[in-house]
Amino acid sequence: MGVESHNEVNSGGGSHIARDRNSSAYNNIDAAPMPKHIPFPEFTGSSELINEFVMFLFITFATAMQFINIYRTIWWVPESNTYHAVNVYLIEPYLVAFIVLLMSRRFLFCLIIRTQDLTQNITIEKRRFYKKAVRYSFTCLLLLILGICAYKIYLKHTFMPVFLLVYPSYEVEGAYFNGMPMHCCSSCPDIIREEIDVLRNDFNIRFKQILFTSLLNVYYAGIVPCLVAASMYYNTVWVYQNAFYVWISCLTMAFAFGFPAKYSDIMHRASLHLGYWSQMDMRAIGGNSGSSSASSNNSNSTSGSTTVWKANTVWTQNSVVKFDGELFSSCGPVTVAVPRNSSHSRFYKLFHNPTTMYMALTGIQASIVLTGLVALYYTLEWHFILSFSFTTLTNQFTFFKIMRDYLVTKRIYTSEISIAEQTKAFNSN
């Protein structure tokens, strides 16, 4: 059963969709039983500026730990002629400046942009102009300083270290500094599908940015110090193992910052309005009649009573529609998704219950923390103990954030499902 939102029908079995946005029948969709949302609690969360600052500190200290792993000394040996724990004089200062400046670019840019919040009397046009001016000015200044550092490194070394520094120069256009997306909570099918496209694009951009940020950070914090090391003998296996551990830690931290519980709740609400179509097996339907003739009659009667899917209709739960010669059953509270649309199906399956996603992230983060503790147990050298202790301690902070999001979402969506079932049972009676 469905509720039409305007007076046009899908022609050709659902393959061509015509829309008339000027139709006044959009006002008739209020009769559809749209899903109700539980208000999301306002618990204390870190701002985007704090997230960038924490990520910058983590990568900076991880870089310092990697330099210690490479340039450490054996100063405790009686025959040693050095009295320092680290050969600081062998570390290239311009390389350190290059890495620290590059890793701080997001935090510095976010800090500069946030200063415009102090000026309350600026119009929207001036704010946009200010943001563009800051972006171009900051980018030019950053490239100038990085170029000077690269030139100084080139004077002391060969061309290869400079090539290693500038090789990963591709930057994904990210969703950061754009704020949190909003859920319009509409009952119009076209608007809901357009909102899903916007949210799906935002999710994909954030996901790409998280992968790029984690790979870029570990490249400069864990790999570049090894490639530019000046004739040093070090434990290659442990050093690259530490770099891999830093990458996993940075990846999960970026996930915790990029996909907070509030963000997943916005996607969850949109998925409840979208719904999901499950394709029905025509042969199974026919086989239940017990004979071939009965199967034919059953199939014909089913096809005759089935409504052709329409793009302008809000379909209620358990509705059966025909699309391109196949039968589909709606699985959500309401369904406005397009049958056989893989993007709509993936969106609904991923966000109709975000607790599953946070439960998986919690398990992964717990495994990372346990791996760090096991590595600490078998580590003997002081510099590796120092680096693994720092990374494991940081992972516990990430574990707390992900675990909190998991517990909050589990409590909310369990209550939401219970209320929906009680409402359905009450309406059926």
Whole-number Cα distances in Å, 221 to 4, 68, 244, 253: 57, 12, 11, 15
For the entire predicted model, the pTM comes to 0.80
Instruction: Report how far residue 306's alpha carbon sits from residue 270's, in angstroms, rounded to the nearest whole number.
Output: 27
* Strands 2-4 vs 313-316: parallel, antiparallel or unpaired: antiparallel
Asked if 224 and 167 count as a contact pair (C-beta separation under 8 A), the reply is no
Tokens of 1: 């059963």
Confidence of residue 160 (pLDDT cuts 50, 70, 90): low
Tokens of 355: 């607790």
Mean pLDDT score of the chain:
79
Instruction: Report how far residue 394's alpha carbon sits from residue 82's, in angstroms, rounded to the nearest whole number.
Output: 32
Asked if 280 and 298 count as a contact pair (C-beta separation under 8 A), the reply is no
Instruction: Report how far residue 36's alpha carbon sits from residue 41's, in angstroms, rounded to the nearest whole number.
Output: 16
Short-list 319, 356, 349, CA closest to 334: 319
Overall residue count recorded for the chain in this entry: 429
How do residues 100-110 score in pLDDT, each as one tens digit?
Answer: 998 998 888 88
Q: Which residues sit opposite 277 in a β-bridge?
A: 330
Tokens of 238: 């442990």
Confidence of residue 156 (pLDDT cuts 50, 70, 90): confident
Q: Which pLDDT value is given to residue 100?
A: 92
Residue 359 has pLDDT above 90, yes or no: yes
How do residues 164-215 score in pLDDT, each as one tens digit?
Answer: 676 555 454 443 445 677 777 777 888 889 999 999 999 998 898 899 889 9
Query: DSSP letter at 20?
Result: -
Element holding 194 (H helix, E strand): helix 189-218
Tokens of 64: 């310092």
How do residues 21-70 score in pLDDT, each as one tens digit?
Answer: 433 334 334 455 677 777 777 766 668 888 889 999 999 999 999 999 88
Q: Which pLDDT value is given to residue 428?
A: 65
Asked if 58 and 250 count as a contact pair (C-beta separation under 8 A), the reply is yes
> 86 by DSSP, 3-state: which?
strand
- The DSSP code sequence of 285-312 is HHHTTSSHHHHHHHHHHHHHHPEEP-TT
Residue 7 has pLDDT above 60, yes or no: no
How do residues 209-262 score in pLDDT, each as one tens digit?
Answer: 899 889 999 999 988 888 887 677 778 888 888 899 999 999 999 999 989 888
Short-list 328, 329, 264, 335, CA closest to 34: 335
Residue 9 has pLDDT above 60, yes or no: no
Instruction: Report how far residue 30's alpha carbon sits from residue 325's, in angstroms, rounded to the nearest whole number.
Output: 30
Instruction: Report how far residue 224's alpha carbon sits from residue 236's, in angstroms, rounded to the nearest whole number.
Output: 13
Short-list 281, 274, 283, 276, CA closest to 327: 281
Q: Which pLDDT value is given to residue 1?
A: 55
Instruction: Report how far residue 305's alpha carbon sits from residue 299's, in angstroms, rounded to the nearest whole number.
Output: 10
Instruction: Report how far residue 235's alpha carbon sits from residue 226's, in angstroms, rounded to the nearest whole number.
Output: 11
Residue 5 has pLDDT above 60, yes or no: no
User: How much is the average pLDDT of 318-340?
Assistant: 84
Instruction: Report how far residue 232's alpha carbon sits from residue 219's, in angstroms, rounded to the nearest whole number.
Output: 19
Confidence of residue 297 (pLDDT cuts 50, 70, 90): very low
Instruction: Report how far residue 405's alpha carbon sits from residue 403's, in angstroms, rounded to the nearest whole number.
Output: 5
- The DSSP code sequence of 312-362 is TEEEETT-EEEETTEEEEE-SSEE-PPTT-HHHHHHHHHHSSTHHHHHHHH
Asked if 393 and 423 count as a contact pair (C-beta separation under 8 A), the reply is no
Whole-number Cα distances in Å, 267 to 180, 314, 349: 11, 19, 11
Q: What angle do CA 265, 269, 270 make, to 5 degrees?
A: 120
What letter represents residue 286's amino acid?
G
Confidence of residue 14 (pLDDT cuts 50, 70, 90): very low
Instruction: Report how far residue 325's alpha carbon sits from residue 343's, in angstroms, rounded to the nearest whole number.
Output: 21
CB within 8 A of 32, min separation 6: which ones?
3, 187, 314, 316, 334
User: How much is the average pLDDT of 254-283?
Assistant: 87
How do residues 76-94 score in pLDDT, each as one tens digit?
Answer: 777 767 778 888 888 889 9
Pick 187 or 362 by higher pLDDT.
Answer: 362
> 76 by DSSP, 3-state: which?
coil
